[in-house]
């Protein structure tokens, strides 16, 4: 049901980030502000112009990099002028532009800087504004507990100041967060509170979105009559407002309601002997399916007009299912073809989101490393100073004892820092970084890349509680780490539920392909045993392997990470995508390297996205 709430999320974000800003006015406003900026003096007025330009870039879906650039210029000038009010807003708009770029770490840094300044001045209105944006950033990264904390803060501040429009937006956010946390009763309670406030202030748009949200929530709980009632009310509002995007969403939701009603009635009829569960076209109960087909088709038509892919993907899938159930199997395959094509086009976007997410997940560890290294540098300086003092005082023994204490503390902190560093970088790269302060990217000609992914992870994440999900991922990846370390394989990173590792770097290994296949077999066996033991509480796994050359090095300066690039990595990912649950799929290149060590089954030439026809093999023994 997460996808169904997407429109509601978008609307709530517009409400929350629109607390201070005026409506967007397009490129003419940007051009006008830039003319003012060119002749502005270095005073607080220029800070405000820079902020206005930055926020206008944010609103106009244009160049968010320019938005960040202008925001940073505003920050620099506001700091120089000691203009705290302008500095806080500059941090806020800069963070908003980073958020729009999906650079969540920098977005949060700037928003927290803004929040600290507003807190010092007890500016409740803007504190609530920033808390709402921080909540949205965490929500987008699916860190719902953190999102909940800041949304509750925003609601409290808005209630204290009596701002009803903002309170309704906060309650909408809270409803979404509780829904993602699995607490549907709280989700509905906040949605109803949001609806009541929107009705009180006569917000037509707010009422409409509340209806849409309540339709989705009741649909997820199986209260189909309520869901359909809210869905039809929401659609009536969107028709009146001429909101095509909203009409598309509501029609989709109503179609789901009718489809779910049909399935529920079909299940109830199968409990009586002699009744057939299948629906015949034109039967007394086919009205629900006819309605489902009609609403899905209308929703898809708007999707195509708006070039919207995500809703169209789900719409075609459900339309195909409706055709089959309604006795129109001839129309179903075409719908599934559309669904599969759209799903493939969206796949790369989902992977990109996973890559972004790992940046936030590792942020705390990297900051700890930087803090530890800075502390260590200061401790070394203190120890050297103490050593000089020792030679000029008759209290040599006391100085020696104190120096020994410092030395012990330095060694202890150095070990902590090195342990953190080795958690992020290979030992050879860490040594180069410590000795030279920089590292260079290197080309490695003979490596083997392992890529794994869990099957139907998104569905599992909806079924399991957040803590259970994280615990299970941790247990699985912990064993993967142990297995790869055993075979001299370098773990690169986890990307959401995916695991990337490589053998043959930073030290060459002539057995790189053999090692990776051996490790893959152990990982596959471990997951099969775990699946037999835990059932639906764990996952099935796909594994893909390819051999070739890569470039490896450190990404970034402050928030660095060791990573690998090249066609070999992409091909390994394609091997994983074209594998099957519990299977190890290897490329022809890897097969030639390991065919004398392992039994393999030729699968033929298979179409791989962006690669054409590739020969693939399953490792079978």
| Pair type for strands 490-495 and 541-555 | unpaired
| Strand 600-608 versus strand 612-619 pairing type | antiparallel
Q: Does domain 442-619 correspond to CATH entry 3.30.70.1230?
A: yes
3-state secondary structure of 309: coil
Helix residue ranges, H only, 222-362: 224-241, 244-270, 286-306, 310-325, 332-361
Highest mean pLDDT among 31-45, 267-281, 365-379, 421-435: 31-45
Q: Does 404 or 2 have the greater pLDDT score? A: 404
pLDDT of residue 76: 94
Which residue has better confidence, 470 or 432? Answer: 470
- pLDDT score of 428: 60
Higher-confidence position of 101 and 448: 448
pLDDT score at 542: 94
- Which one has a higher pLDDT value, 229 or 306? 229
- pLDDT-above-70 percentage for the chain: 72
Would you say 448 and 590 are in contact if contact means Cβ atoms under 8 Å apart?
A: yes
Distance of alpha carbon 618 from the chain centroid = 31
CA end-to-end distance (rounded Å), the chain: 41
Using the predicted structure, report yes or no on whether residue 556 has a pLDDT greater than 90. Answer: no
Burial grade of 22 (CB within 10 A; 0-12, 13-18, 19 or more): exposed
Nearest-angstrom CA–CA distance, 409 and 419: 15
Q: Is the pLDDT of residue 359 over 80?
A: no
Q: At 280, is the pLDDT very low, low, confident or very high (cuts 50, 70, 90)?
A: very low
What is the tens place of the pLDDT at every residue in 517-554? 999 999 999 999 998 888 888 889 999 999 998 888 77
Share of the chain above pLDDT 90, in %: 33
- The top-level CATH class assigned to 243-358 is mainly alpha
Q: Among the residues of 392-442, which ranges form H helices?
A: 396-424, 427-436
Residue 277 has phi, psi (to 5 degrees) of -70, -25
Q: What pLDDT is stored for residue 435 in this prediction?
A: 52
Listed in order, strand segments (DSSP E) in 143-239 are: none
pLDDT of 577-603, one tens digit each?
A: 999 999 999 999 999 999 999 999 999
**pLDDT given for residue 374 in this prediction:** 46
Calculate the alpha carbon distances from 315 to 299, 318, 595 in Å: 7, 5, 45
User: What is the C-alpha separation between 95 and 150, in angstroms, rounded?
Assistant: 16
pLDDT > 70? residue 114: yes
Q: Which residues sit opposite 479 in a β-bridge?
A: none
Contacts of 284 (CB under 8 A, 6+ apart): none
Mean pLDDT of 311-332: 71
- What does the pLDDT look like over 452-467, one tens digit per residue? 998 877 777 777 887 8
> Residue 26 CB: number of other CB atoms within 10 A?
11
Closest to 433 measured CA to CA, from 557, 550, 549: 557
Report CA-CA distances (Å) from 176 to 15, 120, 184, 227, 520.
14, 30, 9, 16, 39
Is residue 342 predicted with pLDDT exceeding 70?
no
pLDDT above 80 for 365: no
Give the HSE-up count for residue 535: Cα atoms under 13 Å, Cβ half-sphere.
Answer: 1
**Choice between 418 and 264, residue whose per-residue pLDDT is larger:** 264
Structure tokens at 227: 């869901």
Is pLDDT larger for residue 494 or for residue 451? 451
Q: What is the pLDDT of residue 432?
A: 59
Q: Where do the domains of the chain lie?
A: 243-358, 363-424, 442-619
pLDDT at position 346: 43
Q: Is 471 helix (H, G, I), strand (E, B) or coil?
A: helix
* pLDDT score for 334: 55
Round the average pLDDT of the chain to a whole number and report it. Answer: 77
- For range 481-487, the mean pLDDT: 90
Is the model's pLDDT at 296 over the cut of 80? yes
Report which of 455, 428, 424, 457 is spatially closest to residue 442, judged by C-alpha positions: 428
Say yes or no to pLDDT of 22 above 50. no
Residue in this structure with the two tokens 């406003």, named with its chain if needed: 29
Tell me which of 388 and 118 has the higher pLDDT. 118
Output b/e per residue, 6-19; b: 16+ Cβ within 10 A. ebbbebbbebbbbb
pLDDT at 376: 47
Asked if the bond preceding 304 is cis, omega within 30° of 0, the reply is no
Task: Give Cα separations from 67 to 52, 94, 306, 310 (angstroms).
Answer: 10, 7, 26, 27
| Whether the Cβ atoms of residue 97 and residue 71 lie closer than 8 Å to each other | yes
| CB contact at 8 A, 374 and 420 | no
pLDDT digits (tens, 9 = 90+) for 162-219: 889 889 989 988 988 888 888 888 999 999 999 999 999 998 988 988 999 899 889 9
| Out of 412-426, 427-441, 472-486, least confident range | 412-426
Helix (H) or strand (E) holding 326: none
Q: For residues 474 and 590, which has the higher predicted lDDT (pLDDT)?
A: 590
In this predicted structure, the answer to whether residue 284 has a pLDDT above a threshold of 80 is no
**Tokens 């204490």, residue?**
405
Give the separation between CA 112 and CA 539, rounded to whole angstroms. Answer: 37
What is the pLDDT averaged over residues 140-155?
Answer: 89
At 43-72, the pLDDT tens digits run 999 999 898 888 887 876 556 788 899 999
pLDDT at 61: 55
Task: Give the pLDDT confidence score for residue 286 in this predicted structure.
Answer: 66
Q: pLDDT tens for residues 232-260?
A: 999 999 899 888 888 988 999 999 999 89
DSSP H helical ranges for 425-505:
427-436, 457-463, 466-486
Sign of CA dihedral 466, 468, 474, 476: negative
CA angle 488, 493, 495 (to 5 degrees): 140
State residue 104's pLDDT score: 86
State whether residue 201 is helix, strand or coil: coil
């Amino acid at each position: 049901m997460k996808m169904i709430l997407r429109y509601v999320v978008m609307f709530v974000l517009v409400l929350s980030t629109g607390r201070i800003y005026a409506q967007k006015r397009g490129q003419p406003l940007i051009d006008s502000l830039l003319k003012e900026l060119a002749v502005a003096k270095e005073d607080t007025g220029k800070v405000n112009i820079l902020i206005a330009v930055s926020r206008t870039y944010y609103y106009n879906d244009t160049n968010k990099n320019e938005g960040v650039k202008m925001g940073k210029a505003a920050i620099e000038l506001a700091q120089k002028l000691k203009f705290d009010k302008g500095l806080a807003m500059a941090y806020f708009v800069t963070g908003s532009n980073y958020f729009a770029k999906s650079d969540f770490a920098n977005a949060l840094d700037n928003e927290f800087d803004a929040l600290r300044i507003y807190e010092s001045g007890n500016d409740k209105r803007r504190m609530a504004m920033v808390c709402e944006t921080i909540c949205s950033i965490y929500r987008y990264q699916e860190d719902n507990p953190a999102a909940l904390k800041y949304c509750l803060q925003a609601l409290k501040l808005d209630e204290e100041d009596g701002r009803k429009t903002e309170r309704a937006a906060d309650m909408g956010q809270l409803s979404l967060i509780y829904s993602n946390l699995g607490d549907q009763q709280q989700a509905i309670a906040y949605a109803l509170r949001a609806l009541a406030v929107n009705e009180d202030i006569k917000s037509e748009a707010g009422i409409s979105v509340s209806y849409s949200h309540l339709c989705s929530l009741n649909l997820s709980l199986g209260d189909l009559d309520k869901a359909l009632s809210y869905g039809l009310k929401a659609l009536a509002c969107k028709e009146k407002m001429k909101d095509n995007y909203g009409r598309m969403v509501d029609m989709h939701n109503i179609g789901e309601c009718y489809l779910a009603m049909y399935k529920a009635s079909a299940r109830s009829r199968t409990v009586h002997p002699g009744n057939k569960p299948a629906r015949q076209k034109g039967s007394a109960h086919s009205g629900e399916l006819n309605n489902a087909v009609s609403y899905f088709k209308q929703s898809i038509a708007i999707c195509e007009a708006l070039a919207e892919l995500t809703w169209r993907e789900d719409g075609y899938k459900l339309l195909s299912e409706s055709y089959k159930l309604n006795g129109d199997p001839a129309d179903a395959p075409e719908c599934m073809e559309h669904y599969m094509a759209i799903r493939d086009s969206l796949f790369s976007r989902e992977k990109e989101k996973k890559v972004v997410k790992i940046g936030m997940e590792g942020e705390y560890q990297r900051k700890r490393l930087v803090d530890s290294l800075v502390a260590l540098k200061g401790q070394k300086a203190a120890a050297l100073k103490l050593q000089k003092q020792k030679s000029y005082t008759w209290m040599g023994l006391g100085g020696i004892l104190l120096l020994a204490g410092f030395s012990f503390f330095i060694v202890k902190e150095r070990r902590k820092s090195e342990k953190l560093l080795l958690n992020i970088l290979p030992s050879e790269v860490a040594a180069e970084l410590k000795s030279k302060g920089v590292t260079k990217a290197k080309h490695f000609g003979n490596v083997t890349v392992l890529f794994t992914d869990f099957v139907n992870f998104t569905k599992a994440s909806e079924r399991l509680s957040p803590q259970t999900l994280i615990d299970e991922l941790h247990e699985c990846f912990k064993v993967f780490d142990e297995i790869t370390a055993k075979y001299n394989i370098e773990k690169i990173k986890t990307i959401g539920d995916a695991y990337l590792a490589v053998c043959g770097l930073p030290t060459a290994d002539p057995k790189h392909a053999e090692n990776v296949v051996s490790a893959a077999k152990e990982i596959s066996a471990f997951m099969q045993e775990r699946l037999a033991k835990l059932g639906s509480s764990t996952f099935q796994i796909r594994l893909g392997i390819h051999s070739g050359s890569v470039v490896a090095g450190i990404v970034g300066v402050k928030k660095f990470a060791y990573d690998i690039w090249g066609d070999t990595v992409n091909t390994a990912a394609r091997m994983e995508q074209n594998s099957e649950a519990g299977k190890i799929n290897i490329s022809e290149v890897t097969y030639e390297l390991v065919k004398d060590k392992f039994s393999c089954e030729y699968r033929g030439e298979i179409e791989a996205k962006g690669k054409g026809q590739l020969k693939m093999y399953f490792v079978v023994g």
